[in-house]
Amino acid sequence: MSKISIKSQKEIDGIRAASKVTAQILDAVGEIVRPGVSTEEINTFVHKMTLDAGCKPAPLNYHGFPKSVCTSVNEVVCHGIPSPYQQLQEGDIVNIDVTSIKEGYFGDASRMFFVGGPKACSEEACTLVETTKQALQIGIEQVRPGAHFGDIGAAIQEFIEATGKGYGIVREYTGHGIGNQFHEPPQIIHVGRRGTGAEMKPGMTFTIEPMINIGTHKTTLSRMDGWTVRTQDNKLSAQWEHTVLVTPTGYEKLTQSLAGYDY
């Protein structure tokens, strides 16, 4: 059994600082998302802004990942690789997943963007994106000392099932502990049962990052690049992610937007 670390004040400050840079990059990258922009241009933007902030982009060379950010368009669930040959089109939905390393500490978050604005996207895409954002928030609201990690997945699963839309919740990819490593124990599963899993304690830091599909929860891994994860039925998928800290009274969302958004 691998153990979930309790971070020291110094470690918490480090993760908080890295997370703040990640949030600032996501706040800024939203301004360049528009039809005709390539995912490679998004990568270049994130890469430069990361270095300008005195940080390193965690995805770059992580287990051989070739770029500095993940860009996951439409039916891509996660781990999409930026490419100069992939231009965003009006009506696309795209997840941008940024992880910054500052002084050895990691901050990980992702958000969805509507290419051409929300009005350019289909109603089903809009509803999926908004519902997934709410699922993340409901998951985060479970976080407090004494709660169990299974409470997060249970709350998300109950919420998604109650929509009655038949959405699939991805199982193969999970949230994770985070600190001076990108991925630490525990795995944060986005389905589950209350009261199961380890107990949360003040000083634990981890991500919650539900991936919700319009259709099946099942995914396929690209045999072409070994990274790109798609829905098995090629229907749309959405994801939002935050890095959170367990505080003595509840949670702190470390990757909260600093641009006045409610996420």
Under rule CB under 6 A, which residues in 229-248 are in contact with ligand MF3?
241
Work out whether 92 is an interface residue with ligand MF3 (CB under 6 A).
no
The stretch among 53-61, 123-131, 238-246, 250-258 that binds Co ion (CB under 5 A) is: 238-246
Start-to-end C-alpha separation, the chain: 34
Annotate each residue in 46-85 with x if it binds Co ion (CB under 5 A) or - if it does not, as one string.
----------------------------------------
Work out whether 184 is an interface residue with ligand MF3 (CB under 6 A).
no
Under rule CB under 6 A, which residues in 45-64 are in contact with ligand MF3?
59, 62-63
Q: How many residues does the chain have?
A: 263
Work out whether 206 is an interface residue with ligand MF3 (CB under 6 A).
no
Size of the site for ligand MF3 (CB under 6 A): 12
Nearest approach in angstroms of CB 80 to ligand MF3 is: 9
Find residue 78's DSSP bridge partners.
Answer: 229
Partner in contact with 223, chosen from ligand MF3, Co ion, none, beta carbon below 5 to 8 Å by kind: none
Nearest approach in angstroms of CB 63 to ligand MF3 is: 6
Nearest approach in angstroms of CB 63 to Co ion is: 14
Work out whether 79 is an interface residue with ligand MF3 (CB under 6 A).
yes
The bridge status of strand 219-221 relative to strand 56-57 is unpaired
Nearest approach in angstroms of CB 121 to ligand MF3 is: 23
Q: Which residue has the tokens 């749309």?
A: 236
Work out whether 209 is an interface residue with ligand MF3 (CB under 6 A).
yes
What six digits make up the tokens of 88?
A: 């965003």
The stretch among 31-39, 41-49, 86-94, 203-211 that binds Co ion (CB under 5 A) is: 203-211
What six digits make up the tokens of 144?
A: 């407090």
Work out whether 97 is an interface residue with Co ion (CB under 5 A).
yes
Work out whether 108 is an interface residue with Co ion (CB under 5 A).
yes
Q: Which is nearer to Co ion, 167 or 206 (CB)?
A: 206
By the criterion CB under 6 A, which residues form the site for ligand MF3?
Answer: 59, 62-63, 65, 70, 79, 97, 99, 108, 207, 209, 241
